[in-house]
Amino acid sequence: MDKLLIAGGQRLSGDVRISGSKNAALPLLAASLLTEERVVLTNIPQLHDITTMVQLLGRLGADILIDERCSVEVKAGTQITALAPYELVKKMRASILVLGPLVARFGEARVSLPGGCAIGSRPVDQHIRGLQAMGADVQVENGYVHARVTGRLQGARIMFEMPTVGGTENLLMAACLADGETVLENAAREPEIVDLALLLKRMGALIEGAGTDCIRVQGMKSLHGCQHRVVADRIETGSYLVAAAMTRGDITCRDTRPDLLDAVLLKLKDAGAEITTGEDWIRLRMEDRPQAVSFRTQPYPAFPTDMQAQFMALNAVAQGTGTIIETIFENRFMHVQELNRLGAQIAVDGHTAVVTGVPTLQAAPVMATDLRASMSLVLAALVAEGETLVDRIYHIDRGYECVEEKLRQLGARIRRVQ
C-alpha cells in the first residue's frame, strides 16, 4: 500500500496549476446519462473517484472515450442497463448521483444504497423523498434503492430538510426531464451545483436560480449533447494555500477561481497571510507564524467542511488558540488523534475542537482516514521536524491530482514509497 514520506521544514514557493473539481466532475459525468447524444467534459481531474464514476457509466452501458488531455466523452445511447451494483457504489458514495438521471430518462433504476462512511452516516433520505414527490415509487430492498415511475416524473415543489449538495444535484438532474415545473427549496448553493446547472443548460435544460436556495426547473422532453469545461477545484486551491501559509511560503495558484473561496481567503487573511488575486489566480505570501483562527463549518458560501481538517493543521502550529465547530458531518474529527501524534494539542468535545498552537510538530508515522484528513496530515508533515510517513494515502488519491508532484514542484521534500 502506498505511503508518502515527507521531510518537514521546506518553505513552499512557486506556481501550482489547480485541477478541475472532483466534486463538480462527478455529477457532470452522471448528467451525461440524461441524453443519448455525446457529452464532452474537459478539465476532468485524473483521480480514483473519477475512474470509479467512469467505470460505473461503462457498466451501465455508456460508450466512453478518454483522452490524455483530461477530457472524457460519454455517449449514453439507448442500450443502458439501469443497475448500479454494490461493488462500484461501495467504492464511492457519489455513485448515488446516477439515480435521478436514470429514473428520469428510463423510468426505472436500481442503485445500491451507499453504506456509512468514515466522516458520518450520510443517509440519502432527501434524494429518495424528492423522487417520491416527483411521482416515483421508491423502495429500498436488499440493499438497493429501486425507483420506478410509469410514464415520466412529474414536476413538484420539493423542500429539503437541510441543504444537501448531492440531494440537490440528483433532483436537479431528474427535474430536467420531468413533466412541468420543479421547484427545489432550501437547495444547496455550492459552486459545484452552479457548474452542473451550466452543463444542463448547455444540454438544453431550462433552469433558474442555481447558486441560490431556490432553483426552478422547467422539464423538457429530451436534452442534447454539448461540451463543457469542469470548474476549478476550490478545495484543492484552499489546501495548497494553507500549505503555503503553514510553511511561511509564497505561492500562486493558477487556473482557479478566487470568487469561490471568499470564506477561506478571509480566514487565511485573519491568520496573517497576504493575499492578492486576479481573475484566475491567487497569490499567498506569509512572513510570520500564523495566528490561530476560529470558525464553524457551514453550507456554501460559509466556511466549507472540506477545508476543516486543513485549517486544523494550520491552527496546530499557530500562535494562540482556535476553536473549530463542525456542523455538517458528525464524525469529521478523525484526523485529531493523528495530528496529536505529531505533537499537536487538540482537544475535542462533541462537535467542537479546541486547538492550542505549538511552535513545532515532530515527525511520526501517521495514518490517513479520509480524503481531507489525509491532506491535513500531509500539511502537518510539511512543517514537522524530521520525516513523517503518512500511511493509507489511497484516500488522498481519490481527491488530489498528482499531489506529490505538485508539492515537490513547490519545493516540498515528498516522495511516494511502498
Helix (H) or strand (E) holding 175: helix 165-175
Alpha-carbon distance of 271 to 285, in angstroms, equals 11
Nearer to ligand EPU (CB atom), residue 23 or residue 35: 23
CB of 366 to ligand EPU, least distance (A): 18
- 270-300 residues labelled b (16+ CB within 10 A) or e (exposed): ebbbebebeeebbbbbbeeebbbbbbbbbbb
| Catalytic residue from among 117, 176, 214, 402 | 117
Grid coordinates representing 229 are 469545461
Active site residue 253: no
CB of 70 to ligand EPU, least distance (A): 18
Q: Which residue is nearest to ligand EPU (CB)?
A: 166
Residues that bind ligand EPU in the complex, under the rule CB under 6 A: 23, 26, 94, 120, 122-127, 162, 164-167, 188, 192, 305-306, 328-329, 371-372, 399
Nearer to ligand EPU (CB atom), residue 248 or residue 267: 267
CB of 212 to ligand EPU, least distance (A): 16
Nearer to ligand EPU (CB atom), residue 32 or residue 305: 305
Where helices occur in 209-283 by DSSP H, the ranges are: 234-246, 262-270
CB of 81 to ligand EPU, least distance (A): 23
Nearer to ligand EPU (CB atom), residue 93 or residue 152: 93
Helix (H) or strand (E) holding 367: strand 365-367
Alpha-carbon distance of 4 to 418, in angstroms, equals 9
Sequential DSSP letters for 86-149? HHHHTT-GGGGGGHHHHHHHHSEEEEEPP--BTTB----HHHHHHHHHTT-EEEEETTEEEEE-
Alpha-carbon distance of 80 to 143, in angstroms, equals 21
Nearer to ligand EPU (CB atom), residue 10 or residue 376: 376
CB of 272 to ligand EPU, least distance (A): 26
- Which residues are known catalytic residues? 117
